[in-house]
Amino acid sequence: MRTIAFVTQKGGVGKSTIASSLAVAATEAGEKVFIFDVDPQQSLAKWSKARGENDIPVAATTPAKLSAAIAQLAKSGVTLCVIDTAGADAGTSLAAMNVADLCVVPTRPNAFDLWATEITRKTLRENKRDYVFLLNQCPPAQQSARVEEGVSALEAMGGLVSPLISARVDYQEAARHGFGVTEYNPAGQAADEMRKLWSSLKRRLAKGKAAPMKKAA
Ligand SMILES: Nc1ncnc2c1ncn2[C@@H]1O[C@H](COP(=O)(O)OP(=O)(O)OP(=O)(O)O)[C@@H](O)[C@H]1O
Ligand SMILES: [Mg+2]
């Protein structure tokens, strides 16, 4: 089992939105996916309720219980565990970072977001975690100077995963209905982005050094 955690110091950057759509895209690609929601907002637990199916189980847990819950899950046949965390909550974020094989740090291509990302990166490096940045909510044309600056800044900070994710209504509508974008509009561009994102992350997980599991702080 591989574990991906969505972490950032900054709230509202798309952790839950991308985590849910990625979980669906990975399921469609043959993974057996399980989601841990350690955000007290319970966004993905609510998403699961709206979904109304248990094909991708979502369990709420606390930072203190996360490490044991992951160890248990690893014995259950699940191949991919996705963890969604609370922005700006050092406790949940650190617990998730410490159990993840790969941390995904979504950020929008704006100055304040990019500066906040630096804080998350510092924590990841201090804890020797493997991570990639994900540029989310880019203008769909994707050719703005803002996006280009974001791409350069994140590449300089240690790795931007492809593709760039655009701001698209599909992400909002899919989440509202308990879907991933690949289900909500399979032929849409958001669906294409999510399938590509899963292939990139899968490749990254395959070559990433499996970091030793650390105890939750
Ligand atoms: N690619 C996207 N296109 C359009 N809207 C998006 C996209 N990504 C996120 N959003 C919207 O941005 C808002 C914040 O997204 P989301 O709740 O997923 O962020 P978050 O990082 O999980 O926030 P929090 O830190 O509060 O948990 C939501 O309204 C969501 O619909
Ligand atoms: Mg969230």
Please say whether the beta carbons of 43 and 87 come within 8 A: no
Q: Where are the domains of the chain?
A: 2-205
Ligand nearest to the CA of 194: 1
Q: What is the mean pLDDT of residues 34-49?
A: 96
Encoded tokens for 202:
């899968």
Give 44 Cα–ligand 1 centroid separation in angstroms: 12
Encoded tokens for 19:
């985590």
- Give the residues across from 138 on adjacent strands: 166
| Amino acid letter, residue 133 | F
> Residue 209's pLDDT band (boundaries 50, 70, 90)?
low
**Is residue 88 scored above 80 in pLDDT?**
no
Give the C-alpha distances (Å, rounded to integers) separating 82 from 110, 148, 169, 187.
26, 29, 23, 24
Question: DSSP string of 85-109?
Answer: --TT-HHHHHHHHHH-SEEEEEE-S
What distance in Å separates the CA atoms of residue 44 and residue 175, rounded to the nearest whole number?
Answer: 9
Q: What is the mean pLDDT of residues 37-56?
A: 96
pLDDT of res. 213: 45
- Using the atom order of ligand 1, give the atom closest to the CA of residue 10: 25
**Is residue 1 scored above 60 in pLDDT?**
yes
Q: What is the mean pLDDT of residues 75-95?
A: 90
The CB of 88 under 6 Å from ligand 1? The reply is no
**Among 17, 92, 147, which residue has the most ligand 1 atoms within 8 Å of its CB, making it the best to mutate?**
17
What distance in Å separates the CA atoms of residue 85 and residue 36, rounded to the nearest whole number?
Answer: 9
Q: What is the mean pLDDT of residues 80-102?
A: 91
Angle between helices 189-207 and 15-28 (to 10 degrees): 80
Q: What is the pLDDT of residues 171-208, one digit of tens each?
A: 999 999 999 999 999 999 999 999 999 999 999 998 76
Q: pTM here?
A: 0.92
pLDDT of res. 81: 98
What distance in Å separates the CA atoms of residue 171 and residue 160, rounded to the nearest whole number?
Answer: 20
Please say whether the beta carbons of 51 and 178 come within 8 A: yes
**Is residue 158 scored above 80 in pLDDT?**
no
Give 207 Cα–ligand 1 centroid separation in angstroms: 29
> Residue 142's pLDDT band (boundaries 50, 70, 90)?
low
- Using the atom order of ligand 1, give the atom closest to the CA of residue 11: 25
- Within 10 Å of residue 119's Cβ, how many Cβ atoms? 14
> Residue 168's pLDDT band (boundaries 50, 70, 90)?
very high
Q: Give the least confident one: 10-14, 78-82, 111-115, 156-160.
A: 156-160
Domain at 2-205, CATH homologous superfamily: P-loop containing nucleotide triphosphate hydrolases (3.40.50.300)
**Is residue 20 scored above 60 in pLDDT?**
yes
pLDDT of res. 155: 76
Ligand nearest to the CA of 190: 1
> Which residue's alpha carbon is nearest to atom 13 within ligand 1?
12
